[in-house]
Amino acid sequence: MATSDFYHPSLAFLMMAVALPFLPGNRRWKWLLLLPPLAAIYAAFGNLDGDHFTLTWLGLTLKLGHVDPLSRVFSQVFAIMSLAGIVFSLHVNDKAQHVSALLYVTGGFGCLLAGDYLTLFVFWELMSLGSTFLVMLNRTRESVLAAFRYFLYHVAGGLLLLAGLLLRYRLTGSFDFGPIAESSATYADWLILCGFCVNAAVVPLHAWLPDAYPRGTVTGSVFMCAYTTKTAVYVLARAFPGWEILAVAGTVMAVYGVVYASMENNARRILSYHIVSQVGYMVAGIGVGTAITLNGASAHAYAHILYKGLLFMSAGAVLYSAGTQKLDELGGLASRLPWVMVCYMVAALSISGMPLFNGFVSKTMTIAGAAEAHRTFVALGLELAAVGTFISVGLKLPYFAFWGGKKPDRTRELKPIPINMYVGMAFLALLCLAQGLYPHMLYKYLPYQEAVHEFVPWTPWNVIQALMLLGFSGLAFFVMRKVIEPHKALNLDFDWFYRLIGRGVLFLISRPLAAVDNVWTVVWDKVGLRVLKGLGALTSWFDRNAIDGIVDGSAVGVKGLGTLTAFLQNGRLQHYLGLMVVLGLLIFAFFWYGF
């Protein structure tokens, strides 16, 4: 998996995950965790295009190292994010959490470099497994329950993908993973699309995300917010560019996410709904399918991983320090956690598309591309989502957690935040700013270089348009700040239907199917077993008297010997002693009379 012009980024993550449980427990092993991300960064920027690592297995050719401009740009941001995530989690002593994260990232890189559906499926499932443990290892009842739901849901999504790729193989005779034309798509392609859409959190298949991510470990959710949905965006961009249904679905996602985020009280659930919304921009860009919107989707995925990682880091830091992530319990933390607030605001302004920050150079590219393609409702829907994003993440969350939304909470004890968490946050904050100020450092890696010059973010009109849109959205928040105040509540989402289906299946098994099973058991006991016993007796008789007779009665002899030894080995000490005496006398007689 490593040659002079290729190194697979998953390799070191996998090796570290396998070795970590056996490393001595003096905590120096934590520094070794930095090696896989550094190697991945080296690989992501250095690997050359081509199919580098192929395996032949059962007559199939598996491509594990497919590198092209699309996989490269995603690999780069995955590698950078893995370094930030590992640094942010260096204080964690629980090896199980690190192993889960390492396996999860292994799966992520494996998917990016998969050149065929079978390889993709294997790494896809590895991601599901690793991320399930990142939720479960939070070790609360609600986390464990959420992890089981998450796993069940992703198994179902994985099965859709598996069914699709096997049926596709039957139809085409190939597992090749490349673009599929919407006009010639088969039912197998639609199954694959559904499997991808589960992981992309496309509405209404999205509810696993706001269910699980707020319940993950502080550090685990930082990894999860970056990899699962963006891997799905990557595979959609590779296989389904220009599919009309994705343009519609992406726009719905963008608006749906901000609607739910605007009413939520839980900080990490607000951010989770904003993953749905922001991934909506990417899915819409893929659906529109022009070079500029595909570039926009890739650029936005890159920027999104950085600022969303930073948002989950800073919200996680608040949870780590204050012990809660509910806005109605927080307030006025700006002066008590000032640098967390600064990092949070860098990420919040980035996601809002504010000039100077990286969301401004990525989000606007997708919207402009949709408008250029005369997709008015897509473009306006994404602009509406931008308004909602700034109101809920840029203003509501910090207003009620950090600023003057409520009186400062001076009594709550705050736990010190480890320095490595600050380092991880500062690293991503600097990147968000650098990309915003110098977009070329992002644009030069975009997959469709011929279209990069079609969009220039830093024009006077683009800047003033963004300031007008966001500034007056801010005015709407200022006017309605009492209305939008969050309160404790659970807002029903599509997981209500998932749970209904789950309860329906449970009912089906525990009532009608169980009743049928009970009747069958009685029938079997009365009729089936008797017939079976009769047949057994007949074949046993035949075996003893016919077959055994042919092989010279050996079976009867062995059986008799076995019965005798079983009789002798009855566990009674006095019998053993008696046997010893008899055996001793026999041996004595043999030698005495024999010689």
Q: Kindly state the smallest distance separating residue 62's Cβ from other proteins, in Å.
A: 40
Write out the two tokens for 319.
Answer: 């949870």
Position 464 contacts other proteins (CB under 8 A)? yes
Q: Is 454 helix (H, G, I), strand (E, B) or coil?
A: helix
Interface pattern 494-513 for other proteins (x via CB under 8 A) = -----x--------------
Contacts of residue 591, defined as CB under 8 A and 6 or more positions apart, other chains included, come to none
Position 461 contacts other proteins (CB under 8 A)? yes
Q: Kindly state the smallest distance separating residue 345's Cβ from other proteins, in Å.
A: 12
Q: Report whether 350 contacts 436 (CB < 8 A).
A: yes
Position 179 contacts other proteins (CB under 8 A)? no
Interacting residue with other proteins among 19, 171, 467, 506 (CB under 8 A) = 467
Query: CA 229 to CA 236: how far, in whole Å?
Result: 10
Task: Please state, as a whole number, how many other Cβ atoms lie within 10 Å of the Cβ of residue 501.
Answer: 11
Match 């690793």 to its residue by tokens.
130
Choice between 4 and 411, CB closer to other proteins: 411
Q: Kindly state the smallest distance separating residue 205's Cβ from other proteins, in Å.
A: 19
Instruction: Tell which positions 136-155 bind other proteins, by CB under 8 A.
Output: 141-142, 145-146
Phi, psi dihedrals of residue 115, rounded to the nearest 5°: -100, 0
Query: Which of these segments, 22-30, 89-97, 279-287, 327-335, binds other proteins (CB under 8 A)?
Result: 327-335
Choice between 489 and 537, CB closer to other proteins: 489
Phi, psi dihedrals of residue 218, rounded to the nearest 5°: -55, -45
Alpha carbon 500 to its chain's center = 24
Q: Kindly state the smallest distance separating residue 390's Cβ from other proteins, in Å.
A: 8
Residue 6's nearest CA partner among 60, 56, 42 is 42
Identify the helix (H) or strand (E) that includes residue 7. strand 6-7
Position 335 contacts other proteins (CB under 8 A)? yes
Task: Please state, as a whole number, how many other Cβ atoms lie within 10 Å of the Cβ of residue 367.
Answer: 26
In order, the DSSP letters of 49-117 are SEE--EEEETTEEEE--EE-HHHHHHHHHHHHHHHHHHHHTTT---HHHHHHHHHHHHHHHHHHT--BH
Q: Kindly state the smallest distance separating residue 497's Cβ from other proteins, in Å.
A: 13
Position 465 contacts other proteins (CB under 8 A)? yes
Write out the two tokens for 183.
Answer: 């006009």
Instruction: Tell which positions 211-250 bind other proteins, by CB under 8 A.
Output: none
Residues across the chain:
595
Position 323 contacts other proteins (CB under 8 A)? no
Query: Which of these segments, 23-31, 78-86, 114-122, 258-266, binds other proteins (CB under 8 A)?
Result: 258-266
Query: CA 577 to CA 583: how far, in whole Å?
Result: 10
Give CA angle at 442 (101, 230), nearest 5°: 35
Burial class (CB in 10 A: 0-12, 13-18, 19+), 468: exposed
**Buried-exposed string 35-47: b where 16+ CB fall within 10 A, e elsewhere:** ebbebbbebbeeb
Position 523 contacts other proteins (CB under 8 A)? no
Interacting residue with other proteins among 22, 57, 492, 565 (CB under 8 A) = 492
Q: Kindly state the smallest distance separating residue 279's Cβ from other proteins, in Å.
A: 20
Interacting residue with other proteins among 271, 334, 346, 446 (CB under 8 A) = 334
Task: Please state, as a whole number, how many other Cβ atoms lie within 10 Å of the Cβ of residue 463.
Answer: 15
Choice between 168 and 396, CB closer to other proteins: 396
Contacts of residue 269, defined as CB under 8 A and 6 or more positions apart, other chains included, come to 210, 213, 214
Query: CA 385 to CA 266: how far, in whole Å?
Result: 20
Choice between 76 and 295, CB closer to other proteins: 295
Query: Which of these segments, 16-24, 179-187, 225-233, 487-495, binds other proteins (CB under 8 A)?
Result: 487-495
Phi, psi dihedrals of residue 414, rounded to the nearest 5°: -105, 130
Interacting residue with other proteins among 245, 342, 555, 556 (CB under 8 A) = 342
Q: Kindly state the smallest distance separating residue 477's Cβ from other proteins, in Å.
A: 6
Query: CA 576 to CA 570: how far, in whole Å?
Result: 9
Interacting residue with other proteins among 93, 172, 491, 563 (CB under 8 A) = 491
Q: Kindly state the smallest distance separating residue 284's Cβ from other proteins, in Å.
A: 15
Q: Kindly state the smallest distance separating residue 508's Cβ from other proteins, in Å.
A: 20
Position 263 contacts other proteins (CB under 8 A)? yes
Q: Give one word for 571, left, alpha or beta, with left for phi > 0 and alpha for psi -120 to 50.
A: left
Instruction: Tell which positions 441-460 bind other proteins, by CB under 8 A.
Output: 460
Q: Kindly state the smallest distance separating residue 7's Cβ from other proteins, in Å.
A: 42
Interacting residue with other proteins among 15, 167, 259, 433 (CB under 8 A) = 259
User: Is the alpha carbon torsion for 343, 349, 355, 358 positive or negative?
Assistant: positive
Choice between 476 and 556, CB closer to other proteins: 476
Interface pattern 366-395 for other proteins (x via CB under 8 A) = --x--xx---x--xx--xx--xx--x----
Instruction: Tell which positions 403-422 bind other proteins, by CB under 8 A.
Output: 404, 408, 413-416
Choice between 47 and 364, CB closer to other proteins: 364
Interacting residue with other proteins among 484, 494, 544, 548 (CB under 8 A) = 484
Q: Kindly state the smallest distance separating residue 364's Cβ from other proteins, in Å.
A: 12
DSSP state of 509: I
Q: Kindly state the smallest distance separating residue 348's Cβ from other proteins, in Å.
A: 16
Q: What is the CA radius of gyration of the chain?
A: 31
Q: Kindly state the smallest distance separating residue 470's Cβ from other proteins, in Å.
A: 7
Position 267 contacts other proteins (CB under 8 A)? no
Q: Kindly state the smallest distance separating residue 72's Cβ from other proteins, in Å.
A: 31
Phi, psi dihedrals of residue 421, rounded to the nearest 5°: -65, -40
Interacting residue with other proteins among 44, 232, 252, 258 (CB under 8 A) = 258
Q: Is 447 helix (H, G, I), strand (E, B) or coil?
A: coil
Burial class (CB in 10 A: 0-12, 13-18, 19+), 481: middle
Task: Give the footprint of other proteins on this chain (CB under 8 A).
Answer: 141-142, 145-146, 258-259, 262-263, 332, 334-339, 341-342, 368, 371-372, 376, 379-380, 383-384, 387-388, 391, 404, 408, 413-416, 460-461, 464-465, 467-480, 483-484, 488-493, 499
